[in-house]
Amino acid sequence: MTNPVHDSKDQDVLTVLLVDDDPMWRFLTSTALRDRGWLVEDCESGSALLERLPASTADIILIDALMPGMDGFATCRAIRRTPRGRTLPILMLTSLEDDESIRDAYASGATAFFIKSTHWSLLAERVRDLVRLGEIGRQLDVSNARLAKVHLAARTGTFDFDFDTRTLHGAPGSFAVLGLDNSRTGISQHELLHLMVPEDRGVFWGAIGADLAARNRFRVEFRLSPIAGGVVRYMCAEGEPEYDADGRLRQLHGLIHDNTDDQRRREEMARLSSHDSLTGLPNRKEFLRRLSDAAAVAGAAGQTVQIAMFDLDRFTQFNETLGQAAGDELICETARRIEASAAQRVALIGNGAAHCLARLPGDEFVLMLTGIADPTEAETVVRAALQSMRRVCVVAGTECFLSASVGMASFPGDAESADILLARADRAVHEVKLRGRNDLIWFQPRFEQGGRGRIEMITGLHRALEREEFELHFQPWVDASVSRVTGLEALIRWRRDGKLVPPGEFIPLAEDTGLIIPIGEWVLRKAAGALAQWRRDGIDLECVAINIPTVHFERGSLLAEIKEAIERHDLRPRSLELELTETCMVRDFESTLPRLEALIEAGATLSIDDFGTGYSSLAYLTRLPISKLKVDRAFVNQLGVSTQGAAVCRAIVALGQSLGVKVLAEGVETPEQVQALRSLGCQTMQGFLFSRPVPVDQVPQAIRTAEQIARRLAEARSAPQRVTVEGDGVLHGS
C-alpha cells in the first residue's frame, strides 16, 4: 500500500495555483511562496484558472474572494464540479472579515479561509497544513472506498448509534447491507425500523435492552422487508455500548451482518432433516411432531385426529422388475395423487378440516386428517385417495396398476400419543395385508393380539404342509340352460386342531411368506388327482378350476407343474382351469402374455376371478387368452338391490359376449338372482344356492343336488311357484 502523504509529494516543494485579479497582490504572494522554494502557477481570473486546472499539478488552490466577473465563491463552486478540483484543498483569501463571507466561503466548497495579510510565513504554514490535511482526506477516501467494498463483500456494515440524535452513523458503504445507497453515512432510527418486517419492529429495542442489562453486549436478529419483489433478508446487529462518566448510555458501537445465506442453509438443513428428499413430503420424524401438535390441539378442544397409513401393495416387485428409478417415479406419482385427492376432498369438507401427508421409509405414506368430526367422512377422504392411486400409471413405458393396504386409526380413541397411534395404524395395515391387501381397515384392539398369533400361524402352516392338514373342498357350478354341473372350483381349507380354517385367514399369510408356492402345488396335484378319479367313477366334468395367486404365477414353476399334472393323470386338454386375477394378468402385460399363452399351449384354460374388482383396461382384455370371466360376488349380491349392481352385471355379461368368453356369476344365493342373471343372458352360476364347497367324497351328492335345484328353478320359471332354499341347499317348493 502506498502512503500518498509521503510518497506522492515531497512535502517541502509544494505547487500552488493562485488566482487573484490584483497583479500586485499576485506578485507579492507568488514571490513570498517562491522564496520558500515552492512552485506557483498564477492566473488573473476564475475562468483562466478553470482552463489551467486540468493540466495543473497544484497541491492547493488559493483564490481571492472578490474578483470582477466570476468571483471567488463562484470559481470555488466551479472547481468543485471538476474531477481534478473535487478533492483539492482550496484556501479562500479574503480581505473581508464579516461572518457572511466566511460562511459563503465554506458553502461554496472552500476548505478554509485566510485573511489577506503580509504575514507570509503564517500563510505558508496554513497552506502546508491544508495540503497535509487534503492528503489525509484523500487517504481516508481511499480507505473508505476500500472499506465500503469490504462491507459489501462481507455483507456487513459498521455503525455507531447515537442516543441523542437517534441516528446510526457509519462510513460510506456501511448501510449498503441494509439495501441503502453506498454513499449513505447516516440513517435515522425511524428509517431503520421501517426497513424491517413489521413484526420485528416492536421487539428490536426490547431485545437490545435485555441483552445490555444481562451482559453489556447486545446481539439482535431482525428481518428486512423484501424490496421490489425480492426476498426477506435475515440480519443480525451486534456490538457494545458506550456510557458517559455519569453512567448514561451514550452510544452503541457495532456491526450489522446479513445472515440470509446462513439462515437459508439452516432452513435447508432443517428441511432435509424433516423432509423426504424424493417426494419433498414431511418425513416420519416431522410427521410425528405435527401429529403430536395436532393431537394436543384436538385434545384440548375435545376433537379427534384421524390418520391413514398407506402401504403400497407388492411395491418390491415393481422395483425389482422396473428398476429403482421407475420405482422412485411410482413413489412420487403416488405421493402426488394422494396429496391432490386429499387436498380436494378436505377443501370440500371445509369447516377447518385440514390434512398433512408424509412419507415413511420405503413404500409407506401416512395421511393426517384434522378438523373432521365424523370418522366416516374421514374414511371417505382416504378411500378417494386410495381410488386415485388405482388409476393406471405409466412408468418406464409400462402401465402399472398400483393399490395399497390402508390402516386407519383415530386419536384419542385408538391411542393417546402420536407414536402409538402410528403403530396402531400400521397394525391395521398389517391386518389388511393378511386379508388379501388393497383395502382399508380401521384399527381394532384385537389386532394387537396378533403378533404372536402370526408367528404361530406361520409355524402352523409349515407343519400343515408336512402333516397334510390341508383339505381340498369343491364347489360345483351349474349351467342353468341345461341344469347341469359342468365344473367344480377347488377351494382349500386347513383342518387345524379339529376346526376348518377358511382360506381368507391363511392364504394372505402364505403369500407373504412364500409358502403359497408349495401349497399351490399341493392344490394342483390334489385337484388333478380328484378329476381323474371322478372320471374313473363315471362323473363327467368339463373341468376343475384352481385358484392361482399372483405370487405362484410369478415366482413358481407353474407351467412345469401343469404339464406334469396333465401327463401324470392323463387329463383331457382344457380340463384344468386356472383362475387368476385381472391385476395379476395385466401387470407387466407384455412379459406376462407369452407365459399365459404357454399355459394354454400346455392344455390349461384361463379365467379371470373376482372380475370387476380389478382395474384392467379393455385394451388388455381383448388380448388376454381367457375363456371365462367370473363376476365377483359383490356385484351378484346387488342384483335386485341396487340398480348399479345390475348395471355392472349387465355390462360384464355384454362384455363377455363381445369378447366371446363365458361369464360365470359367483356367490349366487337366491332364486331371484338366478332369474335376474338368466334374463341378463348369464347361464353359468356358482353359489350356496346350488351347493356350498364340499369335501371330495361328497362331490357326487353335491352335484346331484345342484342339478336338481337347477331343474326345479327352471321348472319354476316356466310354471311360477315360490322356491326357497334352506340350510345346506335343501330345496323347498310350494
Q: Return residues touching Mg ion (CB under 5 A).
A: 547, 579, 609-610, 666
Measured from the CB of residue 644, what is the shortest distance to ligand C2E in angstroms? 20
The amino acid that residue 653 corresponds to is V
Q: Which residues contact 675 (CB under 8 A, 6 or more apart)?
A: 717
Measured from the CB of residue 485, what is the shortest distance to Mg ion in angstroms? 16
* Binding status of residue 547 toward ligand C2E by CB under 6 A: yes
Q: Which residues are bridge partners to 485 per DSSP?
A: 478
Measured from the CB of residue 389, what is the shortest distance to ligand C2E in angstroms? 22
Closest CA to 406 of 433, 373, 370: 433
Q: Which residues contact 363 (CB under 8 A, 6 or more apart)?
A: 311, 312, 315, 316, 331
SS (H, E, C) 13-77: CCEEEEECCCHHHHHHHHHHHHCCCCEEEEECCHHHHHHHHHHCCCCEEEEECCCCCCCHHHHHH
Q: Which residues are bridge partners to 733 per DSSP?
A: 723
Closest CB to ligand C2E among 170 and 549?
Answer: 549
Closest CB to Mg ion among 105 and 580?
Answer: 580
Closest CB to Mg ion among 114 and 477?
Answer: 477
DSSP letters for 387-446: HHHHS-EEETTEEE---EEEEEEEETTT-SSHHHHHHHHHHHHHHHHHTTSSSEEE--GG
Task: Give the one entry of Mg ion, ligand C2E, none that residue 549 binds, where binding means its C-beta sits below a cut-off of 5 to 8 angstroms depending on kind.
Answer: ligand C2E
Instruction: Dihedral sign for Cα 284, 286, 290, 296, please.
Output: positive
The stretch near ligand C2E (CB under 6 A) out of 49-57, 263-271, 499-507, 583-591 is 499-507
Structural contact between residues 281 and 362, judged by C-beta atoms closer than 8 angstroms: no
Say how many residues touch ligand C2E, by CB under 6 A: 24
Q: Are strands 398-400 and 393-395 parallel, antiparallel or unpaired?
A: antiparallel
Task: Give the one entry of ligand C2E, Mg ion, none that residue 355 binds, where binding means its C-beta sits below a cut-off of 5 to 8 angstroms depending on kind.
Answer: none
Measured from the CB of residue 332, what is the shortest distance to ligand C2E in angstroms? 32
Task: Tell me the per-residue interface mask from 692 to 721 with ligand C2E, x by CB under 6 A, - otherwise.
Answer: -x----------------------------
Whole-angstrom distance, CA of residue 235 vs CA of residue 232: 10
Whole-angstrom distance, CA of residue 168 vs CA of residue 188: 6
Whole-angstrom distance, CA of residue 322 vs CA of residue 305: 37
Closest CB to Mg ion among 426 and 521?
Answer: 521
Task: Tell me the per-residue interface mask from 439 to 478 with ligand C2E, x by CB under 6 A, - otherwise.
Answer: ------------------------------------x---
* Binding status of residue 549 toward ligand C2E by CB under 6 A: yes
Measured from the CB of residue 669, what is the shortest distance to ligand C2E in angstroms? 4
For residue 257, the surrounding DSSP H or E stretch is strand 249-258
The stretch near ligand C2E (CB under 6 A) out of 368-376, 413-421, 563-571, 661-669 is 661-669
The stretch near ligand C2E (CB under 6 A) out of 112-120, 208-216, 490-498, 595-603 is 490-498
Q: Which residues contact 453 (CB under 8 A, 6 or more apart)?
A: none
Chain residues 141-200 in contact with ligand C2E, contact rule CB under 6 A: none
Closest CB to ligand C2E among 124 and 458?
Answer: 458
Chain residues 619-648 in contact with ligand C2E, contact rule CB under 6 A: 633
* Binding status of residue 583 toward ligand C2E by CB under 6 A: no
SS3 assignment, position 382: helix
Structural contact between residues 433 and 508, judged by C-beta atoms closer than 8 angstroms: yes
Task: Give the one entry of Mg ion, ligand C2E, none that residue 503 binds, where binding means its C-beta sits below a cut-off of 5 to 8 angstroms depending on kind.
Answer: ligand C2E
Q: Read off φ and ψ for residue 76, nearest 5 degrees.
A: -60, -45
Task: Give the one entry of ligand C2E, Mg ion, none that residue 669 binds, where binding means its C-beta sits below a cut-off of 5 to 8 angstroms depending on kind.
Answer: ligand C2E
Report the alpha-carbon angle 298-440-416, nearest 5: 25
* Binding status of residue 492 toward ligand C2E by CB under 6 A: yes
Closest CB to ligand C2E among 62 and 528?
Answer: 528
SS3 assignment, position 607: strand
The stretch near ligand C2E (CB under 6 A) out of 54-62, 477-485, 660-668, 708-716 is 660-668
Task: Give the one entry of Mg ion, ligand C2E, none that residue 389 binds, where binding means its C-beta sits below a cut-off of 5 to 8 angstroms depending on kind.
Answer: none
Task: Give the one entry of Mg ion, ligand C2E, none that residue 104 binds, where binding means its C-beta sits below a cut-off of 5 to 8 angstroms depending on kind.
Answer: none
Closest CB to ligand C2E among 186 and 518?
Answer: 518
DSSP letters for 158-222: EEEEETTTTEEE--TTTTGGGT--TT--EEEHHHHHHHB-HHHHHHHHHHHHHHHHHHS-EEEEE
Measured from the CB of residue 691, what is the shortest distance to ligand C2E in angstroms? 9
Closest CB to ligand C2E among 564 and 669?
Answer: 669
* Binding status of residue 556 toward ligand C2E by CB under 6 A: no
Distances (CA, A) of 418 to 277, 307, 378, 422: 23, 10, 18, 6
Measured from the CB of residue 546, what is the shortest distance to ligand C2E in angstroms? 7
* Binding status of residue 561 toward ligand C2E by CB under 6 A: no
Write out the three cell numbers for 39.
512552485
Neighbours of 588 (CB within 10 A): 17
* Binding status of residue 610 toward ligand C2E by CB under 6 A: yes
Structural contact between residues 491 and 692, judged by C-beta atoms closer than 8 angstroms: no
Task: Give the one entry of ligand C2E, Mg ion, none that residue 305 binds, where binding means its C-beta sits below a cut-off of 5 to 8 angstroms depending on kind.
Answer: none
Residues forming the site for ligand C2E (CB under 6 A): 475, 490-492, 502-504, 507, 520, 523, 547, 549, 579, 609-610, 633, 666-669, 686-688, 693
